[in-house]
Structure 1
Amino acid sequence: MRYGVLGPLVVWDDGGAVVTVPETKVRALLATLLAHDGGPVSADRLIQDLWGDDPPGKPAGALQAKVSQLRRVLGRDNVLHQPAGYRLRLAPAARQVDAEHFRALTAEARAAADPRLRAALLTEALGLWRGPAYADFADEASVRGAAQRLDEQRLSVTEEQAEARLAVGDHLLLAGELTDLVERHPLRERLRAAQIRALYLAGRQSEALASYESLRARLAEDLGVDPGPPLTALH
């Protein structure tokens, strides 16, 4: 089995076909277990995550029923029970979870000396994303932290990819592609620096200066600070 959390929760079999996980609480159980990266989650914690302050009359039995449903989908050997709680059987080296594949590709890119290879690997890593992490469960307390960490990693890798693409002369396309992202994350200085460099190299100097001034004004208004030294030097 392979699991996707870089977007809505999805399961694929070994042949790549989507495996249906029925019923919302069974899917929520799977999301919670995946958010713990193969580590155990106690029964009490799972009951709280699934039912909150309104547990069923026999919560342990209700949880066991959901675990049994999940085992019927994934295979009994893939949902393990041990004294510390329930966990998924995962082999990190096999990159069964798309988030693990994303992190592995990112690590390969950071180790690559060739900027073209680095850009290609980062592009491949970002191509694994299908939407916000754990998109259908991102508001659930049990996965919120994991989802936020992954979304932050995605944004950081996007910044790295932009810098790698600038290093290989891909500024013309990049200048346009970064516009929406900068609008959604107006205070990220590393992202803004990549956009300003791309605009400048694309011959759009006035837009590059306008972007810098927009950031400077926003930082002053929202945080009472000036742009950091890297952006100031770039300006």
Structure 2
Amino acid sequence: MRFGVLGPVQVWTADGSPARIPEVKVRTLLADLLAHLGQPVSTDRLIDDLWGERLPANPTGALHTRVSQLRRAFEEVEPGGRDLVAFHPPGYLLRVDPEAVDLGRFQALTGQARLTADPRARAVLLSDALALWRGTSFADFADEPFASAAIARLEQQRLNALEEQAEARLELGEHGLLAGELGDLVTRYPLRERLRAAYLRALYRAGRQNEALDSYAQLRERLAEDLGVDPGPELTALHRAILRQDPALMAPAARPRTNLPAPLTDLIGRDEAIARVRVLLDNGRLVTLTGPGGVGKTRLAVEIGTRVVDTFPDGCGSSNSPGRAAGSAPPRPTRDRTRPAR
């Protein structure tokens, strides 16, 4: 069973089919437990969140009924599902693995991205994380007081991921696209300086210096009017660099575009195999990596391709470096004429 909070609250079966949770109060109970995932919610708090000032005649009994209904709904979705709703003094909690909730997967992907040095791999991880969002978190409970803190917290996490994705894409030389894409986002969140900095860099690198300066001026005026403060030192330094057209603001040289998949982890313990394949590539038109299934042939081939991509800017090699890499380990030369993945 899987759960979704990055949008309307949703439950899915193991095969991805939506699961129905009947009755509004039962769904509210589920949303409340998900908003406090991993922490018990007291009985008094749950009663207040479900009924507010319009309490039933027997509030504790009414809550126990809703808990039983939620357990029964879970059991219908998945045998043993009723055990997910556990009594834990002073109330109840939802015993769910974080990876079973879209929020947990979002946080795992963004955390992995922050540990990834390669900007392309980082951008892929952040794109995958942001793709989990189906709208405003807890969208069908946005007016409930118990959800407001969670919604604000998750929106902050989403915006952080968007800013990090923009910075990774700037490293990849995608300033032209970003100059167009970030405009609406900056309008919706005009006081976020990190987002504004990415936008200014994208505009400047796209040859739109005047627009970058105008955008900075708009932020400065908005900060002064709304908060009575000036832009922070990092954004102020960026503004000065744009004024003097600092060469350091320009994008780094773009790497050749390929269709090699972006590795999500480092390749560890294969230095000897990598060195051997590199030698073979320097001396042959084609190197095929062979071995039984599951030994890491594809991962080794991708690593080699990533390391030699600058040597083959057109995908065909040169007179000095005619080799190609494809397949798996341990490597041996072949006469196969298959072209490498690019």
Range of TM-score over shorter length = over 0.9
What's the secondary structure of 1:136's corresponding residue? Answer: helix
What's the secondary structure of 1:221's corresponding residue? Answer: helix
Could you tell me how far apart the structure 1 residues matched to 2:173 and 2:94 are?
44
Q: Which residue of 1 aligns with 2:218?
A: 214
1:147 partnered with 2:151: yes
Could you tell me how far apart the structure 2 residues matched to 1:82 and 1:205 are?
59
For 1:93-114, what per-residue CA distance to the aligned partner results, in whole angstroms no more than 9, with x for missing partners? xx01111111100100000011
- Scaled by the length of structure 1, the TM-score of the pair is 0.96
1:163 partnered with 2:167: yes
Q: Which residue of 2 aligns with 1:80?
A: 86
For 1:183-212, what per-residue CA distance to the aligned partner results, in whole angstroms no more than 9, with x for missing partners? 011111111010011111111222111111
Q: Which residue of 2 aligns with 1:115?
A: 119
In the alignment, which of 161, 182, 185 is matched to residue 181 of structure 1? Answer: 185
Q: Which residue of 1 aligns with 2:199?
A: 195
* Cα deviation, residue 225, structure 1: 1.9
For 1:71-90, what per-residue CA distance to the aligned partner results, in whole angstroms no more than 9, with x for missing partners? 12212112112333111121
* Cα deviation, residue 213, structure 1: 1.1
> Which protein has the bigger helix share?
1
What's the secondary structure of 1:87's corresponding residue? Answer: strand
Flag the 1:176–1:82 CA change in 2: closer, same or farther, 3 A: same
Could you tell me how far apart the structure 2 residues matched to 1:114 and 1:216 are?
33
Could you tell me how far apart the structure 2 residues matched to 1:17 and 1:180 are?
34
**RMSD between superposed Cα atoms in Å:** 1.1
1:136 partnered with 2:140: yes
Q: Which residue of 1 aligns with 2:70?
A: 70
Could you tell me how far apart the structure 2 residues matched to 1:38 and 1:111 are?
25
Could you tell me how far apart the structure 2 residues matched to 1:105 and 1:61 are?
41
Letter in 2 for 1:83: P
Identity of aligned residues (%): 64
Q: Which segments of 5 or more consecutive residues in structure 2 lack a partner in the other structure? A: 76-81, 240-342
Q: Which segments of 5 or more consecutive residues in structure 1 lack a partner in the other structure? A: none
1:225 partnered with 2:245: no
- The list of structure 1 runs, each at least 4 consecutive aligned residues, that deviate by more than 4 angstroms after superposition, is none
Could you tell me how far apart the structure 2 residues matched to 1:27 and 1:90 are?
16
Could you tell me how far apart the structure 2 residues matched to 1:33 and 1:20 are?
17
* Cα deviation, residue 139, structure 1: 2.3
Letter in 2 for 1:102: F
- Give the number of equivalent residue pairs: 233
Q: Which residue of 2 aligns with 1:52?
A: 52
1:38 partnered with 2:38: yes
Letter in 2 for 1:173: L
